[in-house]
Structure 1
Amino acid sequence: MKEKLTCYIIDDEHLAQEILEEYVAKVPFLELKGTFMSPIEAAAHLDRDKPDLLFLDINMPDLDGLSFIPMLNPKPMIILTTAYDQYALKAFELEVKDYLVKPFSFERFYKGVLRLYQEQVSRQLPEKTEAKAEPKSEQEYIFLKVGHRIQKVATHEILFIEGMKDYLRIHTAKEKIMTLLSFAKLEELLPAQDFARVHRSFMVAIDKIDHIERNRIRIADQIIPISDTYNDSFYKKLRGLA
């Protein structure tokens, strides 16, 4: 069984390289095989090392990260590390595994690489006969600051989340919970495969959707719009679940 994921860092900024090297060094199942200033420099070593994973910047001189990805054969797993968020849709069309917008925390970095490592390990385990284990979400509950208390919220009970300026309103079948939190931070906490952002002000639990009609989602007695900004990524996620 594979004990470590070997990786390259490809980034033309020395500070970004140092941060990634520090993050990689903290993770016992990652092994750094090389750090490079450009895709062209890294390409000369790919056949030798055959890394499992590339931490790849987008905007670099000579050859940008998005143009480099289609040239890779075989293609390692890719995590994009960039200061720009506008390339996310293009990146996921290229089947990257994660998209980290600088500056990102170690917590966010670790969550991404842990998911990849667990996927690799699960592929190598012998298939078991259908038995006791029931599928579980990546994260069964989260803790949110609600007023002066920290409240435990089961993720399977969430219907949708509504943005209220600086607050989020978490709608469950039982109650509505107000928390001082951003959508970006909440997306880090929730299991990505179970939730989808559909509007600047709304995120929905995919399994709670009753139906979709004319770019509007029905969940319980609530109608939630799908905005043009999130239209493509939302329907792509639905196709991936089909």
Structure 2
Amino acid sequence: MIRCLIVDDEPLALDILVDYIDKVPALHLVKATTSAFEALSIVQTEQIDLIFLDVQMPELTGIQFLKVLNGKCRVILTTAYSQYALDGYELDISDYLLKPIAFDRFYKAVSKVQNQYQPNVQQVAAEKPQSLSPDFIFVKTEHRIQKIFIDDVLYIEGLKDYISIFTPTERVITLQNMKKMEEALPAGRFARVHKSYIVAIDKIESIERSRIQISDKIIPIGDTYRENFYKQIEDKNI
């Protein structure tokens, strides 16, 4: 059993990681806290094997926390900013997760940590998690962070400076790029079909002449993505 600590000053980020840890039987959550100083105290008094550590925190940054920790336990950094990756790896972190964090990427990082422990610890990969796909994602809109259920997503359209997520009832606009959104979605359920479109495979109504119909929307299939898309579709053919 890997004993975990979560340190993040965003309550929503804490909730997501708590949910993910609960899905993996080999992980045990000792504490989730928004305070870096409380986390340091816990590390001194409790057995902690793995810390999920945010980088940007008001009391103490994640990089400063790592320096104080001095290799006492394994650390996975979590942040929305990739520029901190190099600093983290120089301080011997186990992995680096970019927000929004998809469950399959989280699971891969946890498996890597488990493999760094002694052989007598049971393999995380051998223990089946409750689910390999997240039920929802959180996205930042202009005024709030919004929860979107994966099953509700019809398709995603990328524009110059933002993307739109379409569901049967609404359009959610977020300042995000297509690559990060594609990585956050569960593999196998969505397909990138164009530089500007990601579609939910189970929401496709028909495909004709390099065009996809989802509800009343016609979506083009780009030349770059055609081969991979049709391969995904063929894998689901009966």
State the TM-score, normalizing by the size of structure 2: 0.51
- Which runs of structure 2 are paired with 1:1-242 in the superposition (5 Å)? 4-122=1-119, 167=224, 179=228
In structure 1, stretches of 5+ residues that fail to align are: 126-142, 148-164, 169-176, 181-242
State the alpha-carbon separation in 2 of the partners of residues 104 and 83 from structure 1: 9
Q: Is the alpha carbon distance of 1:29 and 1:124 closer, same or farther for their aligned partners in structure 2, counting shifts above 3 Å? A: closer
- Deviation at residue 75 of structure 1 after TM alignment: 1.9
Please give the secondary structure, in 2, of the residue aligned with 1:100. Answer: strand
Q: Is the alpha carbon distance of 1:99 and 1:74 closer, same or farther for their aligned partners in structure 2, counting shifts above 3 Å? A: closer
State the alpha-carbon separation in 2 of the partners of residues 42 and 166 from structure 1: 50
Please give the secondary structure, in 1, of the residue aligned with 2:6. Answer: strand
Q: Is the alpha carbon distance of 1:167 and 1:75 closer, same or farther for their aligned partners in structure 2, counting shifts above 3 Å? A: farther
In structure 2, stretches of 5+ residues that fail to align are: 123-187, 194-221, 230-238
| Amino acid corresponding to residue 10 of structure 1 in structure 2 | V
37-46 or 23-32: which moved more? 37-46
Identity %: 41
Q: Is the alpha carbon distance of 1:66 and 1:123 closer, same or farther for their aligned partners in structure 2, counting shifts above 3 Å? A: farther
Any idea what the Cα deviations from partners look like across 1:151-210, whole Å, max 9, x if unmatched?
xxxxxxxxxxxxxx9948xxxxxxxx9646xxxxxxxxxxxxxxxxxxxxxxxxxxxxxx
State the TM-score, normalizing by the size of structure 1: 0.50
Deviating runs (4+, > 4 A) in structure 1? 165-168
Please give the secondary structure, in 1, of the residue aligned with 2:117. Answer: helix
State the alpha-carbon separation in 2 of the partners of residues 92 and 123 from structure 1: 26
Q: Is the alpha carbon distance of 1:166 and 1:107 closer, same or farther for their aligned partners in structure 2, counting shifts above 3 Å? A: farther
1:69/1:75 contact within 8 Å kept: no
2:8/2:57 contact within 8 Å kept: yes
Q: Is the alpha carbon distance of 1:123 and 1:94 closer, same or farther for their aligned partners in structure 2, counting shifts above 3 Å? A: farther
2:7/2:54 contact within 8 Å kept: yes
- Deviation at residue 38 of structure 1 after TM alignment: 2.2
Q: Is the alpha carbon distance of 1:72 and 1:55 closer, same or farther for their aligned partners in structure 2, counting shifts above 3 Å? A: same
2:94/2:112 contact within 8 Å kept: no
- Deviation at residue 12 of structure 1 after TM alignment: 0.5
- Deviation at residue 123 of structure 1 after TM alignment: 6.8
Q: Is the alpha carbon distance of 1:27 and 1:40 closer, same or farther for their aligned partners in structure 2, counting shifts above 3 Å? A: same
| Amino acid corresponding to residue 57 of structure 1 in structure 2 | D
State the alpha-carbon separation in 1 of the partners of residues 120 and 78 from structure 2: 26
* Alignment coverage as a number of residue pairs: 136
Please give the secondary structure, in 1, of the residue aligned with 2:76. Answer: strand
- Deviation at residue 117 of structure 1 after TM alignment: 1.3
